[in-house]
Structure formats: structure tokens, C-alpha cells
Chains A and B, each alone.
Chain A
Amino acid sequence: MPMALVGEPPKRRAAVPSGVLGMLLFVAAEVMFFAGLISAFTITRAGAPPLAWSLPGGVVLPAVETAFNSIVLMMSGVVLVVAHWRLRRGEDAKAARALLAATILGAAFVLLQGREWWGLLSRGVTMQTSTLGAFFYLIVGTHALHAACAIVGLGVAWWRLRRGALPAGFFYTAETFWYFVVAIWPVIYFRVYF
């Protein structure tokens, strides 16, 4: 090594922000978690006797209603992309509005899903009455729990952005997690509801 290089040591540098990298790794673990649930669902469904795979009392899962909810969720993801762009361009006020919209759309999804659960529960679909029902509540409920956590994260990001104190790392981390919640949903939807 030439001497000139020694005098000036190279700097310590992070190729990827730590928060984002940590969140990506966490998301990878989460994807495997959902993959486990989905593979359990697929295997059980393939192995169940034909009649055993249904909800009690002839109830079917409300795929159409949920399609609407899903669109709300997808829109939230798109709006968050918009927020990201605006933030990068430094338009903080506009970005805050988009961020708030994404948060509200996300919350709306969770609430609409909750209403759907309420309807199913009142018609006697519980975790105990059928294995399909059990899987339904387990998988969709787990997703809703993740969504709720992510929404809190987005809400906090909005609050901080409005007060002008949003660290970029925090936003990217929350954003990564929300994209994960949005992206995994179609997989769940097409697997579980049909």
C-alpha cells in the first residue's frame, strides 16, 4: 500500500441506513412468518375432507366486500409513494398531507375489516366452529395486527413531520414496514378468500 494512503485513513461509512437495513431484515423474517401461515393453510386445505372445508351454516367469506377494502389498502400504499416523492423534493407541507391520507386510508382498511369480522361473528363463524374459520381469523387477524402497528408508525411520522422534526431514517423505516403490510395482503386475499 503506498504511504500516501496510510496517512489519511478511509472513513467508516454505511452503505445502507441502519434503520432501513434492520427493517428489511425484520420484514424478511415476517415474510417467512406469513409464508408459514399460508403453507399451513394450503396443506390443511388440500388434506381436508371436502365437506370439512367450509364455514358453518353455509356462510361464505365476503370476497366482494373485501375486494373494496383491499382497494382502499392498495391506494394507501400508492399515496405513501407520493408522500415519499414529495418529501424527497422537500415539499414538507404537501408530503404531510399525503402521509396523513395514507394513514387514514390504512386505518379505514382496518376498520372495514373489523366490520366484516363483526358480521361474520354475529353469524356464528368463530375460530372453534370450523378449521377454515380458525385459519381465516388467524391469518387475517395477524395481518390486521401488523397493519395497526404500521399505522401507528405512520401516524407518528405524520405528527413529527408536521412539527418539522421527522428524522429521515424513521420515515423510511415506517415506510418499508407499511409497504410490506400492503404487499402481502393480495397474497393473503387471493389465498384465503377463494
Chain B
Amino acid sequence: MSAHAASHAEHGHHEQGFVRKYLLSTDHKVIGLQYLFTGMLMALIGGFTVYVFRMQLAFPGEEVPLWGRVTAAQYNALVTTHGSVMIFWVAMPVLIAAFGNFLIPLMLGCDDMVFPRLNRLSYQLFLLSALILIASFFVPGGPFGGAWTAYPPLSADPAYNATPWGATLWLIAVALEFVAFLLGGINFITTAMNSRAPGMKMFDVPIVIWMIVLASLVFMASVGPLIAGAIMLLFDQRFGTGFFNPATGGDPVLWQHLFWFFGHPEVYVVLLPALGIVAEVMTTFSRKKLFAYRTVIFTAIATSIISFFVWAHHQFVAGIDPRMAGLFTVTTLIISVPIAEMMFIYIATLYGGSIRFTTPMLWALAFIAEFLIGGVTGIYLGAAGSDVYFHDTYFVLAHFHYTFFPIAFIATFAGLTYWFPKMFGRMMDERLGKIHFWGTIIAFNVIFIPLFLTGAGGDHRRIFDYSLFPELAGLQGLRVLATIGLLVLIAFQPIFIYNFINSMFRGKVAGANPWRANTLEWAAPSPPPHGNFPEMPVVYRGPYEYSVEGRDEDYWPQHVPPDDPKRPAEQVA
């Protein structure tokens, strides 16, 4: 507390230059928005690569507009860049870092993070890692093409991957990014422990904060082995060691062990914040108390723990001991139980509520619907027997996109449209928001339902040209359909970008609490000034007291004292 109180005092409320204010700021809101915009820009890269390689798959060998003819090596590089960017530079920064930074101090009712300078360092490292990744497009050999999982020996030996610089830069970028999130995570957890508003007990903390904190914990506990592996891989690439080279007594499968030890918990690292965002949006727009608040938290904790016991299901066909495969089948099927429970809880929250179909609510509902498809198809992949058939096909691909797309985009859109008034003080346009919603959701299903079918029909992932497999020619129609779906999806995104930028400057002025929500961030003015609250809030109740009987208002903010129940919540604006 004292350290950051001091740092506030020193650059108090005098005018700051643009650089001080927006580039070198230690204010959590600015850092959150920095993460948000960086993530959104990276999403453009992730989206553009997808466009290029999907075009190649639908129309093999043709010129792709804006790119040209795609070579096999380019194809690999594009897929790798797409996967890495979407997970490490879009989902992670937006869901955890952007929402985490923006929301944690606001929802806890304090003025900033516990370690504001560490926070700034975290963003700077993250930005550096993004720049390094982008730089790898311009080095000899081009960007890394060994898939986002970077299995050796392909990733270890330039003789195999033909991208001596791209592979190393990719590795350095990923490692730096991990350090950035490690610092950020420490900050989040410490802040949530030590800076809660007076009166806010552990079980008065909004779900989304719980989820981001849990996700940070899972991230911190799982990333160590991968950093160890990344260093070993770096040495193999650059200094001629043979950690993953069987010829010198190394073990290539070891990388998979280290990678997936992180890789699977990582899925829950991005899932939990998404679930948290959806919980906030859902309770606000069904005007109903969250069903079983504590159960959600304990379920999330259980999920986090179990998430450490499922990762070898990525290695069912990597020659692991079948007894281990048996164990991991069981744990994988077990983890679907808490997740299913969470889905039921959310549906129960809707039951009997007075639901308002605003844009954020539509996104939140779509999250549940689409994620369910991803979850259910996962059961087939979790069972070692059927996974032997499905492994590395488009079925797997469609499965994890049905989980990742809801996480990285649907939940993010829910969160962005929900907190946009708080971030910029203005409302987004509802009509454009709904057009964008329906265009995106329908197109998304048009992309990936066909891919389930091609996968079950035998299409393998990471294949650059299916015309080389005449026996799979019958699936070409579905591939073209998926690509058309993608083009439609892309065509709808400018609507969002226009709506976002336009509303930032010309939207209806929002006021402090446009959604009539309970949590503390709505007690601050929109957008919150440096220091967040004109008067530090005190908390009197849990975050989800909607439609409480005997009150005139159907909401009861956390910071409103209980002494006059008839008074409508004051807006501090």
C-alpha cells in the first residue's frame, strides 16, 4: 500500500504528457487498455493468417488475394503463427491481462494494483514479445513453421524446420511473454488478497475476479516446466546441445511432457476468466442472484486442481505407457463434471429471471451454447480408444475451436460490450452490436460444423493441399463451405470495429451505472479518473443482490449502506 500511495503522490494530479500518461503509465486502467488494444491488433494478424491458409485449402494452388500463391513452407508458418498468436497474444492478454488489469482494482474498490511498476514492466515485456514475434516475419527463412506446440526434432534442428531465426525468435517471444504474465499474475493475486475494499470478505468478491485470480494461480503453477523446456530447446537450437536429440542420449518425447504440462492447464487459464465474464453479464441481465455463488467458486477451484491431472491426454498416440493413458482417460472424463456443473449453474441463473437481450447478454448466452458443443465433443477425444482414431484430425481442430472461439472471442465480446461504458464513458450502438453478433455466430458455426465432418471423414490437420489425397476429394465441398463461412465471419468484423471506434467518441454518454449493476466498478465515474473513486467505497454485501424482495429497485449495489433501503442507489458521477 505505502509504495503505491507514494508513487501516486509523486505524480499526483498535475498534467502529464502524452508519453507519461499513455505509454509509461502505471495506472492499471491504462495498462489494461494497452493490453486490450495490443491484443486486438494481434487478433488482426491471427485473423489474417487464417484467411490466407483457409483460402489455400479451399482453392489449392490459386492466388490468394492480398497474399499471392501459398507455398507449403508458408502454409506451415501461417498455421503456426495463427495458433500461437491467437492463444498467447490474443486470448491471454485480452482475457487475463486486459480485463484483469482493468477490473481488479475497480471491482475490489481500491485505487491501483499493489505493484504498479511491476505491472508496467509486465506490459512492456509483453509488447516486446509481440514485436519479436512480428520481427520473425522479416528474418531469413521467415517465421517459425513447426506448429504452436513446437515438437522437436522439427523445432530443434534448423536442418528440419529451415527457419533458423524464425524458430529461435518464436521461442524467445513465447518465453518473454510468459515472464510478462508471471509478473502480472503475481500482481493480480496479491492485489486481490490485500487491497479489497473495507468490508469486502472473500465471498463478497465478484466471480470474475475469483476466476482471474484462479487462472493466474494455475498459470503460475504450470508455466515453470515449460520455461525449463523452452530454455532447453533454445540451447538445442543455438548452442548445439542434444537435450531432445536421441542420437546424443536426449529424448524428444520429453518436450511433449513439458509442453503439455503447461499446455493443458493453459486451456483452463483462458477458460476461467471467460466463465467469470459470462457470470457477471448473466446476472446483470437476468436481474437475478447468481445461482449458487459459492458452488461456482468451489467448482472452479476443483477444476483448477484437476486441470493438472489431465494433460497427458494430448499424448495418447505418442507412445506413452497405456496404463498412463488409462489413468488420463479417467481424469479427463472427470474434469468434464465440474465444467458441466458450471454450465448447469449458469442455466439455473437464467431460470425465472427477467432476461434482457442486450448485446452483451446475447454474447454470454452464445458462449454457453457454443462452448457446450466444444465440451461434448471433447468426451470423444478424452477416451483414449476413440482418440486414436480422431487424433490430429479436423475433428480435434473443430473441437478445440468450439472451446477457444467462445473463450477468446465470444466471451471477450461479451466483456467488451458490457464494460465498454465503463472504459470509455459512452454506450455502444445496440443495433450494430446485434448485427455483428448474429453475423459472427452464424458464420462461426458454418465454419466449424463442416470441419467436424471432414475430420471424422479423415482429414488430417496441418495439411497444405488436400488435392494430393485423392481419396479425400469428396470432402472438398465441405472445405469450401468452411472457407465461405470464414469470409462471412471476417466480413462482419468491420462492423464491430466501426461500432467500437465510433462509440468511443460519439456514443451516447453512459453515466456511472448504465446497466444498473451491483459491483463496485459501477460506483466509479465512467471512465474512472486516476485513483478510480472520488471517495473510496465500503462494501456491505455480496455482488449479486438483484431483485431483492422489499426493495423498490431491482438491484442493490455493494457499496450502498443498508440503512435506507428505499433510497435508489446514488450515482457518484
Contacts and interface: CB of A to CB of B under 8 A. Distances in A.
Contact of B114 (A22, A26, A29, A34): A22
A134 B229 contact: no
Interface stretch (A11-19, A78-86, A96-104, A117-125): A11-19
Interface string B174-196: 00000000100111011001111
Given A6-B563, A131-B242, A30 B198 contact: no
A95 to B, nearest CB: 22
Contact of B563 (A3, A44, A49, A127): A3
B198 A22 contact: no
Given A22-B115, A40-B229, A53-B249, A14 B224 contact: no
Contacts of B231: 138, 142
B320 to A, nearest CB: 12
A21 B194 CA distance: 9
Interface string A35-59: 1110110011001110011000000
A134 B242 contact: yes
| Interface-central residue, A9, A31, A36, A134, by most chain B CB under 10 Å | A36
A32 interface: yes
Given A25-B220, A44-B254, A131-B241, 10 more contacts: A3-B563, A10-B198, A14-B1, A14-B194, A15-B194, A35-B224, A49-B249, A128-B239, A134-B235, A135-B243
A18 B538 contact: no
Interface in B537-552: 538, 540
Interface string B216-229: 00001111111111
Nearest to B262: A36
A138 B235 contact: yes
Contact of A18 (B190, B222, B248): B190
A64 interface: no
Contacts of A138: 231-232, 235, 241, 243
Nearest to B540: A1
14 contacts: A9-B199, A12-B1, A12-B198, A14-B1, A22-B118, A25-B220, A29-B220, A36-B227, A36-B229, A39-B257, A40-B232, A44-B251, A131-B243, A138-B232
Contacts of A44: 243, 249-251, 254
B187 A32 contact: no
B221 A28 contact: yes
B248 A21 contact: no
B198 A43 contact: no
A40 B223 contact: no
Contacts of B538: 9-10
Nearest to B108: A12
Interface string B123-142: 00000000000000000000
Nearest to B193: A21
A15 B220 CA distance: 22
Interface in B313-336: none
B562 interface: yes
A49 B251 CA distance: 11
B409 interface: no
Interface string B436-467: 00000000000000000000000000000000
A193 interface: no
A127 to B, nearest CB: 5
Interface in B195-241: 195-199, 220-229, 231-232, 235, 239-241
Contact of B224 (A15, A33, A47, A131): A33
Interface in A126-141: 127-128, 130-132, 134-135, 138
B110 to A, nearest CB: 8
Main secondary structure of the interface of B (DSSP, over half): helix
Contacts of B261: 36
B221 A32 contact: yes
A131 B243 CA distance: 6
A16 B193 contact: yes
Nearest to B261: A36
B198 A9 contact: yes
B258 interface: yes
Contacts of A131: 241-243, 248-250
B104 to A, nearest CB: 14
A29 B232 contact: no
Contacts of B529: none
Nearest to B189: A25
B259 to A, nearest CB: 11
A14 B189 CA distance: 13
B226 A36 contact: yes
Contact of B225 (A36, A52, A53): A36
A37 B224 CA distance: 9
Nearest to A39: B225
Contact of A52 (B1, B239, B248): B248
B189 A32 contact: no
A129 to B, nearest CB: 9
A12 B539 CA distance: 11
B12 interface: no
A34 B228 CA distance: 7
B224 A127 contact: no
Interface in A162-190: none
Given A9-B199, A18-B114, A40-B254, A127 B235 contact: yes
